[in-house]
Structure 1
């Protein structure tokens, strides 16, 4: 037998072994899950599992304020590259799969009175799935609570749909010619102003300039929103205009669709947001509006205390 002939089986064995190792190292594709967890005061406390995985972000939201300092970051440091704790949000990004037998345990304490006072989590890695979004409800909701929430959502959807109907009609007549036909642009033209007041942050940051476009019948506000690093993804929802002043009794609160070219803002991302509304008729002296740009849940956004009618 020649030397070259004897080497061939050895080379094949090495190659096959290398292929087997490479196949065994093929990364797992885990299903991203969204879950809801409800805490019950009458039940004994138990550790709730959170499924984390290497390089995946797990966002945990709470329906009640929490104490950020209650989360022990030191036990998470060996396994996580990002740990962000806010008033009602916990954001985790694992740097590795958690080894079996080394699962860290954390306790999140709620702020203020009420029970349960805290909730415990054990962070594990499983092969099939990873928790992408977890909502934690401190108190179980009754059928009556759910019915009220559904009614509120239906009312909000009706208001939003009315606004969208107007926008659809406008989109059907696009461009400057369409704006003229719709009466949004007249021979009086369009004026441009800037809101000098800095908006109040409600978990988002507005970056100027805050440009207000005025025509004879329409107003439009354009600004840039920044979703801070470590926050949950932000989905545009609606703008809320609330009348303020001594003579606003009977004036409705208006909710208007938010326009944004992207569907969602990732942490650290920014985008232009526009809200449009019809000009209001003569208003009582001293009337002003609070203008809020909010996410789909009506929770995170920015607010101008002295909005323009």
Structure 2
């Protein structure tokens, strides 16, 4: 075929030489080529119209290719100059990038396979009705498993024959698309197919319900956690307030007790009538070690004070609890 593409000889003669001798001549001086050319001239063959014999006509046909229809095809081949006369200089059209949409069925692989198998069976029936029981070519050559799967994947999106044509690359036989589309429409109304649709939609509804329930539970748990945290925080604040009130009462009681002891003369009153102004102590610069010891002592005193207050507060609570219990017992006896 490489020689056929580059040979300058008449292609009709070259084909004859190839059929007889098994090679394509690439020179007009080839002995077998000259012999075959003489034979065709002797038998008065029509003038050859191949691209090597009629290069101008070949260019004109090429430039008129976009005008081809079923009706004018033979006319253009027989007289291309008549069609190419008024045409502007040929501009090769840009190739359009066709992006074929890929369809994906929501059904399982088993369901898609069954639909594809049924499509193949339907086409085989159509094909045998058209071509007879023993056609020369098998039906699978025109519509096999691969094309059937494409149609099955897009089954629910098929609402007109045009989509089937795009999926399988057009029709081979008259009324092929109409027959296939009619089968698709009737297939969608079968009990089995409607059951598949119901099950898939029921599964979708169930999944959506589970998702909604999960989201609601998550929201409910978050709200419950928020309420629990708010309750704990409120209890903590109430406990702090209660401790603060109890501590304040404890201080008042201690102050009252101290006042009573002073009135009884057990504790001497501090004299405030006169005092001696003490000179401000001189500031002494401490070494790092001394500062550390001072800070540790201060911290220890604070901790001890807190511990003392905590013990006193706990004793106060216990005393109050004992008083309340005693009052309750007296009230019960009365």
Give the structure-2-normalised TM-score.
0.24
Q: Which has the higher contact order (CA 8 A, sep 6+)?
A: 1
Give the structure-1-normalised TM-score.
0.25
